[in-house]
Amino acid sequence: MTYHAHVFAWAITPSILAGIAVISRCVTRFELTNTLGVEEIIIVVAALGSAGLATLICLEVDHGFQDHEILPPSDYVYQLKILYAGSLLYQTALYSVKASILCQCLKLFSGRYRTACAVALTFITVYAIAAFTVDVFACWPIHKFWMLTVPGKCIELSPIWYTNAAVQITTDLVVCLLRISVFKPLKLPKLQKYSLILVFALGGVGCVCSMIRLVRLHQILEEPYLSRKDVSVALWSSLEVNLGIICACLPNLRRPLSRLFPKFFRNTGSESSDSSGNKMSFCRLWKGTKWISSNNSTTSERYTLATIE
């Protein structure tokens, strides 16, 4: 396989899989409720950003890096335009993935879990707006980013990129832990409990991609010229976004998953209990969703699992 075809495959395939996951999620949700929630709309935005990233990666390789390890100077302007657009799409798509997950958690959880999700959503929203603004106005005038000879000023991007990578890794972990922590106090059948935790914990895979991306980013920042390593950073960025989209959609696809893996997604009884022995009663809210309430003499907390049967 040529370098050109190799990059195309790695850019397009994950984006297609993410698109299928989003479409399946939206169709499943619409079949159950005849409407789409704000979290579905946000994840569609993430999927569009993923498609945009895949397109930019293909254009990046097709114009400059197809036959050269080091980018010819004549292609610098074109490649820097792609870098500029790609950074904006990356910020938008990655934020949309996390916002979609947290918006769903706000609907599904209550008590301290809901408060934690609200705080996390507020933080990533404020940070995303700040990061997007910095990316847009990294140079003034803006077109100086890709036209280096134009008079003007640009901020030093290396510290910003490192900081952004660290924040993205941290928020990935926080969102992942928030999603799985709600299952810790519940005494469900072990196989179902672990399968649910596994599905929610898959979001941590995005952290691995983000870490690898950070290593690649460090490598290219040490080089004076644009090279094919820039493409590898773009590929890892795209893969991070696409895995996040897929993992965000998995809990909403319990129905098709249960057909493929019935042993891991079989129904539970009408009651369970948490680690303190409090009874957990299962009550329908709407088809495909279970409401779990924990009651004792002093507290009453409610959890809703995003399960689709």
Q: Are 292 and 281 in contact (CB under 8 A)?
A: yes
User: Nearest-5° angle of CA 112, CA 115, CA 287?
Assistant: 85
* pLDDT by residue, tens only, the chain of 309 residues: 677 788 899 999 999 999 999 999 999 888 888 889 999 999 999 999 999 999 999 988 877 655 555 666 667 788 889 989 999 999 999 999 999 999 988 987 778 889 999 999 999 999 999 999 999 999 999 999 999 889 999 998 889 988 999 999 999 999 988 888 777 666 677 777 777 777 777 777 778 888 888 888 877 777 666 666 678 888 999 999 999 999 888 877 766 666 666 665 555 443 444 444 433 333 333 334 443 434 343 333 343 343 333
User: Which CATH architecture best describes the domain 3-253?
Assistant: Up-down Bundle (1.20)
| CA dist list (Å): 103 to 124, 195, 304 | 12, 22, 13
pTM listed for this prediction: 0.81
**Residues in Cβ contact with 102 at an 8 Å cutoff, skipping those fewer than 6 apart:** 117, 120, 121, 124, 175, 178
Sheet holding 271-274, edge to edge: 186-187, 271-274, 279-284, 290-295, 300-305
Q: Are 145 and 80 in contact (CB under 8 A)?
A: yes
